[in-house]
Amino acid sequence: MLMMAEKANNRYFQTMNIIRSFQDYTTQYKASIANPEDFWAAVANDFSWRKKWDKVLQWDFHKPEVKWFINGKLNITENCLDRHLPERANQTAIIWEPNHPQDESKYITYKELLEHVCRVANMLKAHGVQKGDRVCIYMPMIPETAYAMLACARIGAVHSVVFAGFSAGSLIDRINDAGCKLVLTADGAYRGDKTINLKGIVDEALEKCPTVEKVIVAERVNSKPALKAGRDFRWNEEISKASADCPAVETDAEDLLFILYTSGSTGKPKGMVHTCGGYMVYTNYTFRTAFQYQEGQVYWCTADVGWITGHSYIIYGPLSAGATTLMFEGIPSWPDWGRFWHVVEKHRVNIFYTAPTAIRSLEKAPLSFVKQYDLHSLKILGTVGEPINEEAWHWYHEHIGQKRCPVIDTWWQTETGGFMISPIASVTKLKPAFATLPLPGVQPAVMDEKGNELTTNEVEGRLAIKFPWPSMARTIYGDHQRFKETYFSTFPGKYFTGDGCRRDSDGYYRITGRVDDIIIVSGHNLGTAEIESAIDEHSAVCESAVVGYPHDIKGQGIYAFVICYDKPHEEENLRNEIREIVSKIIGPIAKPDKIQFVSGLPKTRSGKIMRRILRKVAEGDTTNLGDVTTLLDPGVVDEIKNGAL
Ligand code: WTA
């Protein structure tokens, strides 16, 4: 009976790896650790492979090298699209909800999605894109963006999606680092009542991007931008010439699927490389397992496709599982704070996945915005991106989930490709603000500062992972040495996450936040070094230091300490100019919330900035700054304390 029920539930994913009880979880977790290769081979068997692998895993964290499903051949889009057609050609694959509530939603079936993807794939081919070429996607949250990602995958090209909120400067860095040949963009993007001129930003960027040969511009805001002859093409015109049939190119399991940039604690952003086979298997498995996705449910992840959450859990995980995934173009606050709940009611959403920063701002709005809508369709809630505070957790659980819906707090990273530590909905006993337990195949380790693993419970330290999982990033594009230094050198033989964590007496994990120089602002990772170098571009600025501080809505705010060549006369004007520069170089998300002008920074004798002191000041805790006697100029600390904002 159970087998039949499972089969009816999902044709592809049959019995072996389905978890329905805590007992199943314990058994499978143990099996996944005792025999990882057998475990993942059984999961991978459920997919459509052109050729099965010779060996499941080859790895060495010292090199580092990780390969999964060696010599396996596949195309991920055959798994996300073609194989669904016999059973669900007319099922909605993507529900698209536009920015403006009065505009019509779109319902794209699996059959239609395949046709759209093939057309875009043929359009790319007609413009010279070949297997292995990098394509930059700088687009709004419109269905064409999903088609574009899958079209690259169909022909074995590597997509690099750049979040459409990034500025020209950020776009230049990312296009040049990946050596993109073609850019897919749109005339503009809607964001609430604003329109963003995407094509204008692309034009500005391309003055400094020698590898880009062509740009294809989708139409969204009807702004009719100027096209540069020979370089720019209209999406609609090009697509009308393309056939709806495009054979999928065979890729190796270890061929690149995409590059996605994430901020680093030093220097430029890191192009994390994900590959076809392992990424497909893991995003699919974690999507089905953690959310307990059931056939026919409507699933909505509110992230932007420009982030890893959008890649793994709007596109590849859900589509490979034959789910109905909702893509939302708008923002939670427009036309009013009820917009999310309006969408939940309208599309009868069953699984809703968002970020703590969104929950905190929604929580501040009057409850009447929630109460107007019927949220009975909701069954499961999720969060991602930063630690969720208990208050927000309870509000979400009580007012959105109406105490019926488990809240799954999924801890993971751009680098991990998929969920690592997360409750399994309705299976794992929840604890507010805890990501709870590792998913099968994930072997966490809590490390002390000296690099020893803390093996008991009730410990706090740094979070590392001891064993590979299929969707881990394989390298940083073009810089394997940096990959090694960033992730595999702090604790040799282990992957270092950059996060701190606590393991409590039940063995549950609570992620406490970054322990490096990355700050997470409204769920977006930003490197302090990147913001500092943008601030330093202002001609009046001599040096700066940036730290995070607790912020009610954003989780962390950005606090900049700035030294100018001359004492500023008009402090407020200068602050605005600095914010503008940062917005132009990185993007509006990186604008400092607070800017304090100082005459010096607390530095050690070797010239290292003591960020610990700056963090304390930014947090408003100036009573206990610790030992300052080792500083080059201890006097500067008093000045900083007295001028704190
Ligand atoms: C943080 C997002 C606490 C963490 C998928 C991590 C979290 C960084 C959680 C990765 C969570 C993500 N609880 N912290 N549930 N999820 N983080 O690369 O610091 O944008 O290292 O990937 O976000 O952010 P990224």
* pLDDT confidence of residue 570: 92
- What is the average per-residue pLDDT within 195-221? 98
Q: What mean pLDDT is reported for the chain?
A: 94
Which of the 8 DSSP states describes residue 601? -
* pLDDT confidence of residue 604: 78
Of 307, 360, 411, 519, best ligand 1 pocket probe by most atoms within 8 Å of the beta carbon: 411
CA distance 510 to 32: 22
Specify the higher pLDDT residue, 129 or 515: 129
525 close to ligand 1 (CB < 6 Angstrom): yes
* pLDDT confidence of residue 262: 94
Cα-atom radius of gyration of the chain, to the nearest Å?
A: 24
> 184: Cβ–Cβ under 8 A, 6 or more apart, which residues?
135, 136, 137, 138, 139, 148, 215, 216, 218, 235
Report the percentage of the chain scoring pLDDT > 70. Answer: 97
Under the banding of pLDDT at 50, 70 and 90, the label for residue 10 is low
CA distance 209 to 447: 42
72 close to ligand 1 (CB < 6 Angstrom): no
In one letter, which amino acid is 27?
A: T
In three-state secondary structure terms, 490 is coil
Under the banding of pLDDT at 50, 70 and 90, the label for residue 627 is confident
520 close to ligand 1 (CB < 6 Angstrom): yes
* pLDDT confidence of residue 16: 64
Using CA positions, which residue lies closest to atom 22 of ligand 1?
413
Residue closest to 532 by CA, chosen among 563, 573, 567, 574:
563
Residue carrying structure tokens 């803390």: 454
Q: What is the DSSP string of 338-385?
A: THHHHHHHHHT-SEEEE-HHHHHHHHHS-THHHHTS--TT--EEEEES
Q: Using the predicted structure, report yes or no on whether residue 13 has a pLDDT greater than 70.
A: no
Under the banding of pLDDT at 50, 70 and 90, the label for residue 15 is low
Q: Which atom of ligand 1 is nearest to the CA of 497?
A: 21
CA distance 502 to 459: 6
* pLDDT confidence of residue 12: 62
* pLDDT confidence of residue 30: 96
516 close to ligand 1 (CB < 6 Angstrom): no
Using CA positions, which residue lies closest to atom 15 of ligand 1?
411
Report the percentage of the chain scoring pLDDT > 90. Answer: 87
- What is the average per-residue pLDDT within 613-618? 92
* pLDDT confidence of residue 7: 44
CA distance 161 to 616: 36
- What is the average per-residue pLDDT within 150-167? 97
CA distance 309 to 297: 19
- Give the model confidence (pLDDT) of 47-67 as tens digits: 999 999 999 999 999 999 999
Under the banding of pLDDT at 50, 70 and 90, the label for residue 607 is confident
Of 353, 412, 428, 510, best ligand 1 pocket probe by most atoms within 8 Å of the beta carbon: 412
CA distance 155 to 177: 22
The sheet with strand 351-354 has its strands ordered as 106-109, 92-97, 324-328, 298-301, 351-354, 380-384, 407-410
Ligand 1 centre to CA of 384 (Å) is 6
Of 390, 439, 525, best ligand 1 pocket probe by most atoms within 8 Å of the beta carbon: 525
Q: Which stretches of 127-214 are DSSP H helices?
A: 143-155, 168-178, 198-206
- What is the average per-residue pLDDT within 526-545? 92
CA distance 255 to 274: 8
> 127: Cβ–Cβ under 8 A, 6 or more apart, which residues?
182, 214, 216, 233, 238
- Give the model confidence (pLDDT) of 248-278 as tens digits: 999 999 999 999 999 887 768 999 999 999 9
Residue 393 backbone dihedrals phi, psi, to 5 degrees: -55, -50
* pLDDT confidence of residue 8: 44
Under the banding of pLDDT at 50, 70 and 90, the label for residue 5 is very low
- Strands 134-138, 182-186: pairing kind: parallel
Under the banding of pLDDT at 50, 70 and 90, the label for residue 4 is very low
Under the banding of pLDDT at 50, 70 and 90, the label for residue 6 is very low
Q: Using the predicted structure, report yes or no on whether residue 630 has a pLDDT greater than 80.
A: no
286 close to ligand 1 (CB < 6 Angstrom): no
386 close to ligand 1 (CB < 6 Angstrom): yes
Under the banding of pLDDT at 50, 70 and 90, the label for residue 14 is low
CA distance 106 to 95: 6
Residue 635's H or E segment, with its range, is helix 635-642
* Beta carbons of 161 and 149 less than 8 angstroms apart: yes
* pLDDT confidence of residue 496: 97
385 close to ligand 1 (CB < 6 Angstrom): yes
Q: Using the predicted structure, report yes or no on whether residue 330 has a pLDDT greater than 90.
A: yes
Which domains, from first to last, does the chain contain? 77-249 (3.40.50.12780), 259-479+496-514 (3.40.50.12780), 521-642 (3.30.300.30)
Give the end-to-end CA distance of the chain in Å, rounded to a whole number. Answer: 65
* pLDDT confidence of residue 11: 59
* Lowest-confidence pick of 1-5, 164-168, 505-509, 586-590: 1-5
* Beta carbons of 240 and 233 less than 8 angstroms apart: no
